[in-house]
Amino acid sequence: MTERTHEDIVKSIVEAMEMYVAPSVAQHGGEVNFTSFKDGNVVVQLSGACSGCSGSTDTLKHGIEQMLTHLIPEVTSVQGIDDPNSIVDPYMTLDPFNDPFSDPFSDPFAMQEMYRQNNFKGEDS
């Protein structure tokens, strides 16, 4: 087998990611971008909904890493880093309406009860 150059390997990685990874994660509001390749390890940056998402580890290890190691023999592992500038919050809350007063543990000063008392008095009070 002919040994490929670093540039050829990187080109193959970027092409595979653009063809297979980008469309898939974009459907969920995410973005995965190639950052570097060294000693068999690919580093990608997770942006958008992927940045900080608990499911991104599964996508990274069971999706992207398996695909890249299968398609590109020089790739042995894939690591992800979160985009520090991402403005998307991928974390789900327990409350589907995102009501800050619905969680009793987030109300250390009993503001919830004061809010409810003031809201239910009416405008004349």
Residue 84: the pLDDT is 77
User: Taking residues 58-70, what's their average pLDDT?
Assistant: 89
Residue 94: the pLDDT is 46
pTM for this prediction: 0.66
Domain spans of the chain, in order of start: 6-82, 93-125
**pLDDT-based confidence at residue 92 (cuts at 50, 70, 90):** very low
Tens digit of pLDDT for each residue in 18-53? 999 888 888 878 889 999 999 999 999 988 878 777
Q: 46: exposed, middle or buried (C-beta count within 10 Å: 0-12, 13-18, 19+)? A: buried
CATH number of the domain located at residue range(s) 6-82 in this protein? 3.30.300.130
CA distance 25 to 30: 5
